[in-house]
Amino acid sequence: MKTDASLSEFKFSCSECKGVVQCHTSYAGSRIDCPICQKSIIVPPVPPPNDSAGEPKVRLKKSTLIKAAIIAACALIVVAVVMVIPCLFGPKTVTFKAYVDGTDLVKLSGRHLWLEHLEWQQPTRISINGVSWLPTWSDNKTSRYTLKRAFSSGNSQNIKLTKRVGRGTVAITEMPSRENGQTLAVQVDDGPMGGAAWYEFTVSW
C-alpha cells in the first residue's frame, strides 16, 4: 500500500534537459532548480490520478452511442414491420370448423365472429383458423371471438364462401348492410341426417 508521502509526490520531465524529476505536489506552479541540469524550471500542475490504478472504466464515444441507438431503432422498425405486414397484406380469409348436429349461423362483423344456434344440438369442437375455441353460450348465442384481421364488407362482390367439409348445406343467408351493422351470416345446416358431422368452410373477401 502507498504511503502518504508517495501519494503527495509526482514525476515530470524537465523542460530543459528532459530528465525525470520527482517533486512534492506543493511545488506545483513554483520555480525550482532542476536537480539534474541545475537550471531554473517551473513545476507543472499536478496530473490527475491514473485511472489504471482503480477500477476499469468504459468510455464510449458519442458517435458510438449514436450508432447503437440507430441500430436499436432499426431493429424495432423491422420487428414492427414483420408484425404489421401480415395484418395489412396477409390473406383476407376466415376458416371455421366445427362438429355440427343441427342448424347454426356463423356471423362475421369487423374483428368479431360469433355463433347463433337455431336447432337441435349446439356445435362442438369449434376452431377458428385452426385455433381451438371454447365459447361461452348465452341464450343460444356465443361470446365473440376476436379475429387477428378484421372482416371487411367494403365490396360485397369480393365476399366468397368455400365449403370444404360437410354433408349438409353451407350458405350465405345474409350479406353485410347498413341495417345489420355490416354483418355477414353463414348458415350451416346438417338437415335431418342423424348424429353430428364435421363442417368446415372458408370466407374470403
- Residue % of the chain over a pLDDT of 70: 84
Which residues, other chains included, contact 196 with Cβ-Cβ below 8 Å and sequence gap of 6+?
A: 99, 100, 101, 121, 123, 124, 190
155 three-class SS: coil
Yes or no: say if 56 and 40 are a contact pair by the CB < 8 Å rule.
no
What separation in angstroms does the CA of 35 have from each of 23, 29, 39, 42, 163? 10, 17, 8, 13, 104
The per-residue pLDDT of the chain, averaged, comes to 86
Confidence of residue 9 (pLDDT cuts 50, 70, 90): confident
What residues form DSSP beta bridges with 33? 40
Give the pLDDT confidence of 148-198 residue by residue, as tens digits. Answer: 999 988 888 899 999 999 999 999 999 999 999 999 999 999 988 889 999
Q: Which of 14-28, 53-67, 103-117, 141-155 is most confident?
A: 103-117
Radius of gyration from C-alpha coordinates of the chain: 41
Least confident of 60-69, 103-112, 140-149: 60-69
What is the structure's pLDDT at 191?
Answer: 87
Mean pLDDT across 29-53: 82
Give yes or no for a contact between 113 and 106, defined as CB atoms under 8 angstroms apart. yes
- Give the domain ranges of the chain: 4-50, 93-204
The predicted-structure confidence for 104-136, as pLDDT tens digits, reads as follows 999 999 999 999 999 999 999 999 999 999 999
Of residues 74 and 16, more confidence is placed in 16
